[in-house]
Structure 1
């Protein structure tokens, strides 16, 4: 059963112990000569040992067996995960994918991950990858761990029951989960599931700075939840741990469940967030606020104010503006914009963008409202109105140029060759003199 507690802050210290083993956390010493209940002490580091205190991330795990007890790694072949960004020629066109399908053959979460685009190099700990997952069965006697970076998981269809070394989380559509680098987890399903994954290499997601917004707004720290310790003591003859390492997949085998952590404490944890709790900041006068006001989480680059990846949502909200074209304006951007739709209709492309699909508008490729949206928004009465009710669209935005994989361009057979047509109806309305 899921048991969660408030995260409260992204660099605060937390602790948890399974109530079946009271006093299992050592007192005053992280790695005593003998741990309570005969446990092993193991530290999971999410940052360099010498990182500044405000950025240092680590958690102590007190477990039944240390995670080192496994057989050698071998290649894991049943995977669509790649990091070769030269499979296809660059494509500057506006791209749209029709909704991705649930597989017809038995496929678990790890087997159902396919890389759609990305940039950078996990070996250099710089870059990102965007994947979609589609699965229909539980991960039986199999866990997954990502040595390259963090996974931000966005379910679109079907609830995920995620078991981690730290405890359990149930994540349904309109919620997200973040499994940070090196954390082992497994996924069970209540029903077939499909969704999106944003992966960042070697860096971590944080809350964006609020600046002039002030102390309150956007995603509040107290609404993030982390699991409570819940150990599993089971001997399994052939338990698999699949690891993503330098962009490729490997598997090792062990004789027990890796989810045998009885207690833990630290500030490096998995967490979940309900997108419905996002506090929207929006315009109450003219012009159009930048989509940065919808940022839930960010992974910043070394250039101040520039993101390797932002996770942005466009939730239900009031739209109150004066003498202004209300939908997103036409623009060319120095960022790559990958959009997905969890539910409903995205206001700038009603009917042309379906839940479970995706779009990619690359760096400096023009995009914006389609013909129908422009015509309607140019003539509508400018009065306060609700926008995006029963809808949740999101965007993965990056300063990096994203390359589409062979799977994304061809194998998935979901790329919509007619996407460009949504803008072809736009007419010339110019009333000035001809020159």
Structure 2
């Protein structure tokens, strides 16, 4: 029995305590684990943080399912995902000092599901110590059929660039399209289904603290991403009895086991640990209203904090439609040397610091303490243009920024779309020094 409705209903709010049921009365009332649950369901808790984490940080949900997860993950055998790499778990990385840029990766001829379609570009930190991240390109050309997956190493922030995906998770279904993101928490089971044609995008696999909304400080209570714009799915479940396969990523390795039924059998749930989506076009940017270019931290959508206050394990920032109004100011991002490493991707439109060389689906990596900034053409235009209010329209770029150096994989270093002459974009910068004030 499959109950696909309601498949596209969501509840608002980031990290809210939610409760939802696909059958009336499926949620126990008054306690989480009664002696006998309604409909003969099993109670199971999934914890995204330690039991004793502070209340404001504690993440857990109670799931009421047809069968417990112990039947979904046993007798594991080694599985292969040769292009999905993890930080610190292998020696696949290559020399990563420098500036790197790639064009969009073309779709391959072979059929690839979500697991097969992950291509790791860079890793940072160490997967077993729960610090750092991996950055992946994603190419999906077929749906997962009788296959399910969960990542025990980290949460997955999925950023579509072309085409969409329907994530059927234990908690319900989430459809995500270009211009939106989806976060699949550590340990949550799902299958990924194509929407309309092949899908290309990016993934940040976050090993560290779960993503949260950044503190706003002097900004106050409003702007940037509103908690109410984040959507969590309502309960919908599969009751399917047929042979399936469960894939698990654990400790940087992959495992698989045969199971006799769908693991997406959660009839009801309550808690604050669940997948969610966000429409990036709902982001409310702020900027300089008079002069100078603000730090890019004002574009942070989500952050995974580290043990060093104010220094993120990973920040997810976007550069979207906005007005530029600053006077007597070099408006594109300035030249800088940053203690953080910066992986960027372009979803659509053009990026103002690299308008000619950075196309949709493209990506770049500027590592910690490696100088970078506008190319020669962008500098010339920005230095000479008359400064009027200007609206950047139909543009969406993103950045995964981390305190950890991001190390290129062998796959990324050998990609045909790697621009080996990328650093030449600065070679035409002239000497402008006049020797006079």
Q: TM-score range by the shorter chain?
A: over 0.9
Query: Which of the residues 205, 213, 231 maps onto 2:211?
Result: 205
Task: Show the counterpart of 1:34.
Answer: 36
Q: CA contact under 8 A between 2:96 and 2:406: conserved in structure 1?
A: no
**405, 417, 422: which one aligns with 1:419:** 422
Query: What are structure 1's unaligned runs of at least 5 residues?
Result: none
Cα distance in 1 between the residues matched to 2:410 and 2:167: 29
Q: Which moved more, 1:344-353 or 1:65-74?
A: 65-74
**Correspondence for 1:143 among 143, 148, 158:** 148
State whether structure 2 residue 412 is matched by structure 1 residue 408: yes
What are the ranges of 5 or more consecutive residues in structure 2 without an aligned counterpart?
Answer: none
Q: Spell out structure 1 runs of 4+ moving beyond 4 A.
A: none
Q: Which residue of 2 aligns with 1:98?
A: 103
Could you tell me which residue of structure 2 aligns to residue 390 of structure 1? 394
Q: Shift of residue 217 of structure 1?
A: 0.6
Matched, 1:226 2:216: no
- TM superposition shift of 1:186: 0.9
The partner residue of 1:162 within 139, 150, 167 is: 167
- 2 CA distance for matches of 1:177 and 1:135? 16
Q: Determine the C-alpha separation between the residues in 2 that align with 1:363 and 1:78.
A: 29
Q: How does 1:348-359 map to 2 (within 5 A)?
A: 348-359=353-364
Q: 1:192 is matched with which residue?
A: 198
CA distance in 2, matches of 1:212, 1:36: 48
Measure, in 1, the Cα distance between the counterparts of 2:14 and 2:250: 29
RMSD: 1.2
| Deviation for aligned residue 1:202 | 4.1
CA distance in 2, matches of 1:414, 1:208: 34
Asked if the contact 1:127/1:201 (under 8 Å) is kept, the reply is yes
408, 424, 432: which one pairs with 2:435?
432
**In structure 1, distance between residues paired with 2:145 and 2:335:** 47
Whole-angstrom distance in 1 between the partners of 2:10 and 2:434:
61
Q: Counterpart of 1:277?
A: 282
Do 1:149 and 1:203's aligned partners in 2 also have CA atoms closer than 8 Å?
Answer: no
CA distance in 1, matches of 2:260, 2:103: 42
What is the DSSP-based 3-state SS (H/G/I as helix, E as strand, rest coil) of the residue aligned with 1:236?
coil
Matches within 5 A, 1:282-431: 282-387=287-392, 389-410=393-414, 412-431=415-434
Q: SS of the counterpart of 2:336? A: coil
Residue 237 of structure 2 aligns to a residue whose secondary structure is coil
Show CA shifts across 1:401-425 (max 9, x none): 1111111112x33221010111111
State the Cα distance separating 1:77 from its structure 2 match: 1.3
Aligned to 1:58: 60
Aligned: 1:47 with 2:53: no
Aligned length: 427
Q: Say whether the 8 Å CA contact 2:170–2:190 is kept in structure 1.
A: yes
* 1:52 shift after superposition: 1.1
Bigger shift: residues 347-356 or 270-279? 347-356
Matches of 2:168 and 2:381 in 1, distance apart? 46
